[in-house]
Amino acid sequence: MRIAIVNDLPLAVEAIRRVLATDAGHELAWIARNGAEAVEKCAADTPDLILMDLVMPVMDGVEATRRIMAASPCAILVVTATMEGNSTRVYEALGAGALDAVETPVFGKGSGFLLVKLDLLAKRIKAAQSSAPLPAVTVPPGMTRPLQVSADWLVAIGASAGGPAALATVLAGLPKDFPGAIVIVQHIDALFAAGLIAWLNGQCGLPVVAVTEAVHPVAGHVYVAAENRHVVVDSEGRLAQADESGDGIYVPGIDVLFETMAENWRKTGTGVLLTGMGRDGARGLLDLRRAGFVTLAQDRATSAVYGMPKAAAELDAATHVLPLGSISTQLRQLARDGALRTKR
């Protein structure tokens, strides 16, 4: 994997370079000392992955991420000296299209964690570049009888690169008395899930909570996958966690949530697939549509990364392809006019 380093500190650059040198599968593409230089170099020579610092002169990592994803998109991993001190910038970068974040390794510390991240991202990048669908995942068996649950309407949302900002836009557009329960799978490491939930709570009027145990979804609440485990709709119509299955590229996986919802949810439902790299969620969205649910996908123009929604469009998995700003409008309209499809 060809990897570029964007960092203005020579010691940080050298520490990262030494980590890359320990794995023969990684090749250093180029080094940039600030965000503006990174934008120029990426346009001339787009690598497989950029390791992007956040605080730099001339142009910071957030703006550089935004410009790179608009002009010459590629996978970006935020590498910053302190997660806690730069938490706001981390979520801004994730909203601009970065895939994940990790603390900058120092000599003798943190290199193993960075290598694990690189290995996982290499698998995701390979899957995104492949036109073949991912192998099927193992999901819980379907239920055989309808069960009463608190919410009559379940909205399942999947997002990846660029997702935090897109999720905030959708949730902010929904009223406090929204009649459906919402469950979200955002591709993000469990280390950042609590921060994401806290941040989303500040962006909307709905309570946002983590899925930590099997629960019947309650109308007007937002549930977020918060651990490195899948979130599923189980055979009793509850939101629950499930151990890793399939190839392990996307954990939590959007396809897993959508497919179990298509199989096990017996009331009204809607699937929404937002910005993201790769194909996760496309197959599951098609399952939801075939099961009789309304399905929405974000359009190309408003996606930070038009990967997952594009894959869904190619499968004709979405009943509506919409700009980001129209998705909450569509959800509100579905609630008002009752034009919701219920699985039979």
User: Sign of the C-alpha dihedral, residues 301, 307, 308, 309?
Assistant: positive
Class of domain 2-129: alpha beta
Average pLDDT over residues 4-11: 96
pLDDT band per the 50, 70, 90 thresholds, residue 78: very high
Global pTM reads: 0.81
- Please, are residues 199 and 216 in contact by the beta-carbon 8 Å criterion? no
SS percent in the chain: helix, strand, coil, step 5:
35, 20, 40
253-307 per-position pLDDT tens digit:
999 999 999 999 999 999 999 999 889 999 999 999 999 999 999 999 999 999 9
- Please, are residues 293 and 154 in contact by the beta-carbon 8 Å criterion? no
Average pLDDT over residues 117-131: 75
- Please, are residues 282 and 311 in contact by the beta-carbon 8 Å criterion? yes
* pLDDT computed for residue 42 by the predictor: 97
* Res. 331: pLDDT tops 60: yes
Q: For the chain, give every domain's residue range.
A: 2-129, 153-337
pLDDT band per the 50, 70, 90 thresholds, residue 338: low
- What is the CATH number assigned to the segment(s) 153-337? 3.40.50.180
Please tell me the distance from the alpha carbon of residue 281 to that of residue 16, in angstroms, as a whole number: 33
- Please, are residues 3 and 13 in contact by the beta-carbon 8 Å criterion? no
Dmax (CA) for the chain in angstroms is: 62
Tell which residue, 301, 124, 69, has the closest CA to residue 310.
Answer: 301
| Least reliable range by pLDDT among 30-39, 89-98, 231-240 | 89-98
* Residues that are catalytic: 160, 187, 280
